[in-house]
Amino acid sequence: MKQIQISEVQKDLLQFLQMAQEEDIILIYEGKPVGYLVGFADEDDWIDYLMLHDPKFQERLRRSVQDAREGRTIAFENGKLVSDSEN
């Protein structure tokens, strides 16, 4: 992980965005970390980032995991509700 002064990034943001595709960058201002530059190698990386940081998605995921733990699942093959007692 690189650490770069904000003043350097201001000169050529595109260069640092390209660098961030390979390695995350900590932005430094007056000797202190103030930001984090993450590059996305492709659209999938961007979508993954959005999902991981979206509170609505996180809540849906949490509920889905809880449903699965409690046996409230749907078999993909036939779209039928399957409970633990049927397995």
In the numeric block, which tokens belong to residue 82? Answer: 């399957």
- The amino acid that residue 42 corresponds to is D
pLDDT tens, position by position, for the chain (87 residues)? 889 898 898 899 999 989 998 999 999 999 999 999 988 888 898 899 889 899 999 999 999 999 989 988 777 776 666 565 555
pTM of the predicted model, to two decimals? 0.54
